[in-house]
Amino acid sequence: MFTGIITDIGQVRAVEQRGDMRARIATGYDTGTIEMGASIACDGVCLTVVDLGPDWFDVDISAETQSRTNLSTWTAGRRVNLERSLKVGDELGGHIVSGHVDGLAEVVSVAAEGDSTRVTLRAPEGLARFIAPKGSVALNGTSLTVNEVEGRDFGINFIPHTRQVTTWGDVAEGDMVNLEIDTLARYVARLAEAG
């Protein structure tokens, strides 16, 4: 489990295709405190640490994960939002995030709005109904509040702090981002279907 509060921006050092894809990610985390097999959310995808070095960790990315996320587009040099898994007693600053991406949202516009940046995204058809104004979503692992919804399109406002401590300062029209809908929204919709 995660909270969607990004605690490091890593950088992909290398990507290798094997049976699965292996990625080496440079990090500012103290890797001496990371255990083999630990879960780290990388751009919102819960991945397992399979090797460690003094300032990096390796993860394996299955074909299934590549097919449902933007990780298949990773190349050396790419910046990546990182979050270590939640520990009992940690502050819940964002919302409960599982690290299980539901699909890809497309960035359809980026515009300055005062000191902030307004980003409009388009959700996949099957996920749009789970996104509500003032509800939560995780985009590339970042817990965010939805401002407005119109059909499949929804808007997010990024304050300067969020752009500085995440990869959202690099956002561009046409980007495909990992979307995880709010777990609560998923269950409410499921209960409504059963009702």
Which residue ranges make up each domain of the chain?
A: 8-84, 103-194
Does domain 8-84 bear CATH number 2.40.30.20?
yes
Look up the CATH number of domain 103-194: 2.40.30.20
Strands, DSSP E only, in 62-192? Answer: 79-84, 103-113, 116-122, 136-139, 142-150, 153-158, 176-181
pLDDT of 50-98, one tens digit each? Answer: 999 999 999 999 999 999 999 999 999 999 999 999 777 777 777 888 9
- Find the largest Cα–Cα distance for the chain: 53
CA distances from 101 to 17, 79, 104, 138 (A): 21, 18, 8, 9
pLDDT of 134-151, one tens digit each? Answer: 999 999 999 999 999 999
